[in-house]
């Protein structure tokens, strides 16, 4: 056998071995894939879809939800009975192909099975999601319906338990409850007949009406309590109090109180009747108006009671206050007449006393008839309080005026005595100033000082004359006393100035001797100043002349002499 044939045989054998090994590997790989597909199919088949379907069935779906459920249920039946059976047949065929060494056909069949399983898996996922959605939606709807029914039942029970608190509104509230109950019945009918959209609208409306009625029912008891309990009790209290006040001789400026009672009772009845319409805003407004009317009546009674307490205090004060004011005015009149014998003074004092008498008389006219017949008087206490208060204020003003006039009258004699004391002082001071000037040994008295002296003397004499009259004009005395004081003060200042100028002139004339021999200007001023001093007695001009001259040769010399003089100046002493 040739070597070529041997080589060919070897190659063929090798290829056969390789093919066998490849076939073995492909077969094992296909077996593994088939096993995986079988396991995947089984897992899908074992999913709890039947249980989930049963759970949804128990919800007793109706309408569109029930239709949707049936469609998905049918799809699961198709998958579980047809698709899985078909997949199982294809797996069986793939196993046969793989066992009979049809590896490539088996591989293609396996690929087809994988595609089928992918589709089934997607369908199963959609079915489960749809079932979950249906379940959630139904649970939501059930919870919503339960919530609405719970609200209604809670409201119904609350109203039944508290029916006594709703008064005349109970009939209308029961009517509203029946309407809501009818809406729930309509919801059930529509939902059962497969019209979930309209049923949902009806459910919304029933829930809204339930909530609205609940809010109304929360407000009604307070309104009814006012109309049936609070207002009648307050009105009874007011009427009872009114009768007691009338028995105690109370009177009122408001003449329509009985009619007000009747109007309030009519308003209470009217609001109670109209409350059946459940227009709570209007009812609350009406209640507020009724309460305001009741409060106004309370305010009227409280005002009169408070005024009564004030009037009783004022009633005790007024008689004594009137007596006191009249006695004071009598004393004032007597004092005024006594002083008028001795003095002339302002006429306003007499006018004030007459005015006080007129005010006192007005108070007597205003209050005495009431005070004397207090138990039978017919004025409201609030009006009496104003009258008495005005009278007390008038008497207080009168008293203050009387005190002021009395103090002014007392001051007349005091001022006269003081004026006489000051007159004596001024006369003595005039003599002291005169002696003071005489002791200075001046060359002569300046005419300016003499004018001031004689003027001051004349003012003092005028004061003396006024105080010597049979009836003293006290205002003139006060004026002349002030003038005399100012005059004597001015005279004293003038005396000091004259003596100061004369003394300083003498000192500076003596001091100028040190400059006269060699300062012609000083010599000239000396001669002129000496003439003014000794002949003219013009000490002011003389001082100015000599001081000016000395300042030119020795600045500050005048100030030095002035400072020294002020330290040793002799005072005018009484």
Map tokens 């007691």 to a residue: 244
127 and 255 together in one domain = no
Q: Establish if 414 belongs to a structural domain.
A: yes
Q: Which pTM was predicted? A: 0.55
Instruction: Decide if pLDDT at 194 tops 60.
Output: no
CATH, residue 332: 1.20.1270
Q: Which residue range(s) make up the domain with 398?
A: 305-418
Co-location of 502 and 558 in the same domain = yes
Q: How many CB atoms lie within 10 A of CB 568?
A: 7
Locate 141 and state its tokens: 């709807």
Question: What pLDDT score does 476 carry?
Answer: 92
Q: Tell me: pLDDT of 459 over 70.
A: yes
Please tell me whether residues 358 and 253 are part of one structural domain: no
Q: Do 466 and 329 share a structural domain?
A: no
56 and 127 together in one domain:
yes
Q: Is residue 179 part of a domain?
A: yes
Judgement on whether residues 452 and 539 belong to the same structural domain of the protein: yes
Instruction: For residues 93 and 191, state if they share a domain.
Output: no
CB 146 within 8 A of CB 118: no
SS3 call for 344: strand
Is 574 a domain residue?
no
Higher pLDDT, 486 or 165: 486
pLDDT for 415 equals 92
Task: Please report which helix (H) or strand (E) contains residue 343, including its range.
Answer: strand 343-344
Mean pLDDT of the chain: 81
Would residue 52 count as lying in a domain? yes
- In a domain, residue 204? The reply is yes
**Which pLDDT value is given to residue 282?**
84
Cα atoms in the Cβ-side hemisphere of radius 13 Å centred on 201: 4
1-31 pLDDT per residue, tens: 567 776 767 666 666 566 555 555 655 666 6
| Higher per-residue pLDDT: 36 or 349 | 349
Domain boundary (418, 452, 480) is at 418
Helix, strand, coil content of the chain in percent (nearest 5): 90, 0, 10
User: Could you tell me if residue 427 is inside a domain?
Assistant: no
Identify the DSSP state of 554: S
72 pLDDT above the threshold of 80: no
pLDDT digits (tens, 9 = 90+) for 358-402: 999 999 999 988 888 888 888 898 999 999 999 999 999 999 999
Phi-psi region of 32 (alpha: psi -120 to 50; beta: other; left: phi over 0): alpha
Number of domains the chain is built from? 4
Among 364, 385, 418, identify where a domain stops.
Answer: 418
**pLDDT tens profile 218-247:** 667 777 778 778 889 999 999 999 999 988
Same domain, 450 and 544: yes
Residues 169 and 229 in one domain: yes
Neighbours of 521 (CB within 10 A): 14
Q: Are residues 233 and 370 in the same domain?
A: no
Q: Which residues contact 529 (CB under 8 A, 6 or more apart)?
A: 505, 509, 542, 543, 545, 546, 549
Judged against a pLDDT cut of 70, whether residue 66 lies above it is answered with no
Share of the chain above pLDDT 90, in %: 33
Q: Are 308 and 300 in contact (CB under 8 A)?
A: no
Please tell me whether residues 27 and 45 are part of one structural domain.
Answer: yes
* Whole-number Å distance between alpha carbons of 311 and 304: 10
23-27, 202-206, 256-260, range with the lowest pLDDT: 23-27
Same domain, 450 and 547: yes
pLDDT, position 106: 64
DSSP 3-state of 251: coil
Contact between 565 and 500 under an 8 Å Cβ cutoff? The reply is: yes
């Amino acid at each position: 056998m040739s070597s070529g044939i041997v080589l060919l045989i070897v190659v063929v054998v090798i290829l056969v071995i390789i093919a066998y090994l490849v076939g073995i590997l492909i077969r094992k790989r296909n077996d593994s894939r088939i096993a995986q597909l079988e396991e995947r199919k089984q897992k899908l088949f074992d999913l709890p879809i039947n249980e989930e379907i049963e759970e949804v069935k128990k919800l007793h779906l109706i309408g569109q939800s029930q239709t949707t459920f049936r469609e998905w249920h049918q799809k699961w039946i198709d998958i579980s009975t047809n698709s899985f059976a078909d997949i199982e047949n294809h797996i069986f065929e793939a196993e046969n192909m793989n066992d009979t060494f049809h590896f490539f056909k088996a591989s293609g069949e396996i690929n087809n099975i994988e595609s089928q399983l992918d589709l089934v898996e997607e369908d199963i996922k959609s079915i489960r999601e749809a079932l979950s959605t249906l379940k959630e939606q139904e649970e939501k709807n059930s919870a919503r319906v339960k919530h609405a029914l719970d609200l209604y039942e809670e409201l119904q029970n609350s109203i039944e338990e508290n029916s006594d608190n709703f008064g005349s509104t109970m009939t209308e509230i029961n009517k509203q409850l029946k309407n809501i109950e009818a809406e729930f019945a309509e919801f059930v009918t529509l939902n059962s007949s497969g019209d979930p959209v309209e049923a949902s609208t009806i459910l919304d409306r029933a829930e809204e009406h339930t909530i609205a009625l609940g809010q109304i029912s929360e407000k009604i008891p307070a309104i009814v309590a006012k109309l049936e309990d609070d207002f009648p009790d307050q009105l009874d209290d007011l009427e009872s109090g009114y009768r007691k006040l009338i028995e105690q001789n109370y009177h009122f400026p408001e003449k329509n109180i009985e009619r007000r009672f009747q109007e309030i009772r009519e308003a209470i009845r009217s609001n109670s009747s109209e409350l059946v319409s459940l227009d709570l805003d209007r009812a609350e407004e009406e209640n507020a108006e009724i309460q305001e009317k009741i409060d106004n009546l309370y305010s009227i009674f409280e005002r009169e009671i408070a005024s009564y307490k004030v009037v009783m205090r004022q009633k005790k004060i007024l008689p004594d206050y009137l007596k006191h004011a009249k006695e004071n005015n009598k004393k004032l009149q007597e004092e005024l007449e006594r002083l008028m014998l001795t003095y002339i003074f302002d006429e306003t004092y007499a006018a004030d006393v007459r005015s006080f008498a007129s005010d006192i008389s007005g108070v007597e006219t205003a209050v005495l008839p009431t005070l004397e017949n207090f138990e039978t008087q017919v004025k409201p206490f609030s009006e009496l309080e104003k009258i008495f208060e005005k009278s007390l204020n008038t008497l207080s003003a009168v008293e203050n005026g009387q005190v002021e006039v009395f103090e002014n009258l007392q001051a007349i004699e005091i001022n006269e005595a003081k004026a006489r004391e000051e007159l004596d002082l001024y006369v003595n001071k005039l003599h002291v100033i005169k002696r003071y000037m005489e002791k200075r040994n001046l060359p002569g008295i300046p005419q300016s000082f003499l004018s001031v002296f004689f003027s001051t003397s004349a003012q003092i004499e005028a004061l003396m004359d006024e105080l010597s009259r049979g009836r003293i004009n006290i205002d003139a005395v006060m004026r002349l006393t002030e003038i005399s004081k100012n005059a004597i003060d001015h005279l004293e200042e003038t005396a000091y100035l004259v003596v100061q100028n004369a003394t300083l002139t003498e000192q500076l004339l003596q001091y100028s001797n040190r400059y006269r021999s060699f300062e012609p200007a000083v010599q000239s001023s000396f001669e002129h100043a000496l003439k003014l001093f000794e002949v003219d007695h013009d000490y002011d001009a003389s001082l100015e002349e000599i001081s000016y001259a000395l300042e030119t040769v020795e600045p500050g010399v005048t100030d030095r002499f002035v400072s020294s003089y002020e330290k040793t100046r002799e005072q005018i002493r009484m």
